[in-house]
Amino acid sequence: MTALICGSIAYDTIMVYKDRFGNHILPDKVHILNVCFVVPELRREFGGCGGNVAYNLKLLGGEGLLLGTVGEDFEPYGRWMDRHGIERRHVHQIPDSYTAQAFITSDLDDNQITAFHPGAMGYSVNFPVPLDAGISLGLVAPDGYDGMISHAQQFAEAGIPFIFDPGQNIPLFSGEELRQLIGLCSYLTVNDYECELIQNRTGWSLDELARQVRALIVTRGGSGSYIYTGGQRLEIPAAPVSQVVDPTGCGDAYRAGLIYGIMAGLDWETTGRIASLAGAIKVETHGTQNHHFDPAGFRARFEQAFGYGF
């Protein structure tokens, strides 16, 4: 069984300013804003929702293919994927473009100024779901707007169940578009803020939203998550963490756990806990693809955290 992960592939350039933005931005002069922040700390990370999910699914021992679009600057990321055994035959390089990238500057109060260049991501619509690849489960994660719609429709037309994870792209879709996309998917996963945003846009109550899909998964950060399925609400606890270092990418790790559990045919209580632990391990490390574990070590930590094995 193989999952097809449709989502963004991006570089994240992260900078830390050792002061506070507010000390250097004059409120009455923002109309002529011209500031420079010297950043002694800089990291360039491999990221993007699709890339992060594929990385975590590989750590878990799951089988996944990544479908995405990248630019001419992709080679360092490609070597990283090869080194970690992530299949990239459906990662398509677009000439005369850059791989999507975010430039994030944080200050001492954890305020952030972010610039995002979508680059090659906008070409994802040109590359359809490979229906001859033995796909048993799909994921439509944040990506180019047209690509997300196209891939969701292709999964549905082929009868392939898929997880819809609109994430930060929710504002791109109208209420009617969200209703249509949710109507196509088998599973919907969002965080608690995104869940409320979807309810506002679609006009559906939480119960109505849950009835549209086999399972609605709502993550709640350190408070765990809820899985609404079969008319029930299952409460999934957060897995213990040794230290909270960086929550960025935690949601993508969680979604890899969902994919693993669904493909393995596990019950929702166990699937949710696998997802929870994958997210917890990611939280303990800076960056979205710098944490490491093997399936045996993961299973041992799962049993320690939840008192049973899978």
Phi then psi for residue 190, to 5 deg, are -150, 165
Percent of the chain with pLDDT over 90: 83
If phi > 0 it is left, if psi is from -120 to 50 it is alpha, else beta; for residue 161 that is: beta
* pLDDT over 90 at 74, yes or no: yes
Phi then psi for residue 127, to 5 deg, are -125, 105
Distance between CA atoms of residues 242 and 246, nearest Å: 12
Arithmetic mean of pLDDT, 212-220 = 97
3-state secondary structure of 78: helix
Instruction: Indicate the pTM of the whole model.
Output: 0.93
Distance between CA atoms of residues 93 and 82, nearest Å: 15
**Contact of 2 with 133, CB cutoff 8 Å:** yes
pLDDT in tens, 148-182: 999 999 999 999 999 999 999 999 999 999 999 99
Query: Residue 71, exposed/middle/buried by CB under 10 A (0-12, 13-18, 19+)?
Result: buried
Confidence of residue 24 (pLDDT cuts 50, 70, 90): confident
Mean pLDDT, the chain, rounded, equals: 95
Distance between CA atoms of residues 51 and 56, nearest Å: 9
Distance between CA atoms of residues 99 and 124, nearest Å: 12
What's the CATH code, domain 2-9+49-100+121-306?
Answer: 3.40.1190.20
**Predicted pLDDT at 28:** 78
